[in-house]
């Protein structure tokens, strides 16, 4: 037996589901058949509402650059974290949620055991090498009944999946192009984050990790 058997791409067999919590899973390679249509839909979205750097309420500049689509988009500035129906950068509504995002969100949620997931908010993050996302809870949504569906594309990253307080030890889970993490139910408010993305080149996306996170916010 050689270690080649455990190369990254061999982890992405279809239908492989890694359980990371009672109601939290990683669906390995689930988005792979959707990548072309996801990226095609993303282009006009990002033309309308480009990536931008945001400030935390505490005055830090986030290292990942963010955009949104859907009826509600997530933003942060000195006034706090919130969802809004207007993009503060363009003063226009956020771009509409592409159909393919809705379809993938529903399919992934269902594969993870959550039926009838209809997101109204999609946060789009790009991480260049070195960028990270500190441990946080997704709690700006109006209620926590719906799961979070988080699609990883491009460069790999280490996703941290913690407990219900920031200081709880977090699992470190490698996520690759096409993987989807879904968490909801009893795991909905777990702390999570992304360790600094390592330098690399992805054949499709170049020097970046893209993350598309679908939520029911309103
Ligand atoms: C997020 O929590 O908003 C992003 C998570 C990720 O990039 O995987
Ligand atoms: Fe999050």
Q: Residue with the nearest Cα to atom 5 of ligand 1?
A: 193
pLDDT band at 15; cut points 50, 70, 90: confident
Ligand 1, closest atom to CA 125?
Answer: 7
Could you tell me which CATH class the domain 9-215 is placed in?
mainly beta
Over the stretch 177-193, which tens digit does the pLDDT of each residue have?
999 999 999 999 999 99
pLDDT(2) > 70: no
Pocket of ligand 1 (CB under 6 A): 123, 125, 133, 150, 159, 192, 194, 211, 213
What dihedral do alpha carbons 124, 126, 131, 133 form, nearest 10°?
10
Contacts (Cβ under 8 Å, ≥6 apart) of 187: 21, 22, 23, 24
Compute the distance between CA of residue 83 and CA of residue 28 in angstroms, rounded to an integer: 29
Can you give the pTM of this predicted structure?
A: 0.93
pLDDT at 5: 45
User: Above pLDDT 90, what percent of the chain?
Assistant: 93
Ligand 1, closest atom to CA 136?
Answer: 2
138 appears as a binding residue in the annotation: yes
């Amino acid at each position: 037996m050689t270690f080649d058997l455990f190369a990254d791409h061999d982890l992405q067999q279809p239908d492989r589901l890694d359980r990371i919590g009672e109601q939290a899973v990683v669906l390995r390679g689930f988005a792979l058949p959707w990548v072309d249509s996801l990226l095609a839909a993303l282009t006009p979205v990002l033309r309308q509402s480009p990536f931008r750097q945001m400030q935390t309420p505490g005055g830090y500049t986030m290292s990942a650059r963010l955009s949104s689509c859907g009826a509600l988009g997530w933003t942060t500035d000195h006034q706090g974290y919130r969802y809004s129906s207007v993009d503060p950068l363009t003063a226009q509504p956020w771009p509409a949620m592409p159909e393919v995002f809705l379809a993938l969100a529903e399919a992934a949620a269902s594969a993870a055991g959550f039926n009838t997931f209809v997101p109204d908010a999609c946060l789009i993050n790009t991480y260049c090498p070195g960028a990270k996302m500190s441990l946080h809870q997704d709690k700006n949504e109006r209620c926590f009944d719906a799961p979070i569906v988080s699609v990883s594309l491009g460069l790999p990253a280490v996703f941290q999946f913690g407990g219900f307080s920031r200081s709880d030890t977090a699992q470190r889970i490698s996520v690759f192009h096409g993987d989807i993490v879904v968490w909801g139910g009893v795991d909905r408010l777990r702390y999570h984050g992304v360790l600094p993305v390592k330098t690399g080149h992805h054949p499709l996306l170049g020097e970046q990790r893209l993350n598309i996170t679908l939520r029911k916010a309103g």
